[in-house]
Chains A and B, each alone.
Chain A
């Protein structure tokens, strides 16, 4: 039924949500959620030239866990019970 099909759609939805969270500006204390979003901006605006080598490293590391966490959110099956 539609419900079952939705579990498959959940993967597509999770990818979109990961992108949504990545573009969401959170508070400065939130390393996990903000680093991925603010990093590209930092790379473009804060460093003049010398720090260019360092900047790309941080966002790549931080973005990984964020995406992984979010991706798992919609993909897992219900395992019985209702999902409210």
Chain B
């Protein structure tokens, strides 16, 4: 089971990375500009999402410690989910994605859909503390995020673009807020 999951993750990441292969026909100058413009649009979304998700942990820990009631915890998590959904729309609606990054961007944007689905299920599960049915999509999400970051690194290196240092967190940090605190 674990071996199969490992293989699935490896194949998934490889597929995302390979998705942009062979798209090197752009003029170097316009490709450079295009990738930098893409970064300028994606970074506020990515950073905003990470900050937003940071806000989930205090809600969940307060609820775990009984400092927050089920109704309040659910309301706050639902509000967080709605804010996340706005980011999911923004990342899906992103235009002007360079051809060399389209495959990776598509996979990356889909992780937002999976995350929103998870957050929605989490908000629903909180009052009963019934977490068994939460979507188990973290492995897929992480693989896609890592694939996106690596593809970005490959393209940026080719074009001589310096990436933001904290981009290295993409795919390395937590993916889904855990109601159990692990």
Contact = CB atoms under 8 A, between A and B. Distances in A.
Interface of A: 1-6, 9-10, 12-17, 19-21, 23-27, 29-30, 32-33, 69-70, 73-74, 76-84
Contacts of B72: none
Contact of A3 (B9, B143, B168, B178): B178
Contacts of B54: 81-82
Interface size class of B (residues with CB under 8 A): 35 or more
B22 A20 contact: no
A3 B138 contact: yes
A21 B157 CA distance: 13
B50 A21 contact: no
Interface stretch (B33-41, B60-68, B122-130, B145-153): B145-153
Given A25-B21, A84-B49, A9 B146 contact: no
A13 B176 contact: no
B171 to A, nearest CB: 5
26 contacts: A1-B182, A3-B175, A6-B139, A6-B175, A9-B6, A9-B139, A13-B13, A17-B10, A17-B13, A17-B17, A17-B147, A25-B22, A26-B154, A27-B24, A32-B157, A33-B158, A69-B153, A70-B150, A74-B146, A74-B172, A78-B173, A81-B169, A82-B50, A82-B173, A83-B172, A84-B173
Interface of B: 2, 5-6, 9-14, 17-18, 21-22, 24, 28, 46, 49-50, 53-54, 111, 115, 136, 138-139, 142-143, 145-147, 149-150, 153-154, 157-158, 168-176, 178, 180, 182
Contact of B17 (A21, A30, A69, A81): A21
Contacts of A27: 24, 28, 158
Contacts of B149: 73
A3 B180 CA distance: 12
B136 A2 contact: yes
B163 to A, nearest CB: 12
A10 B146 contact: yes
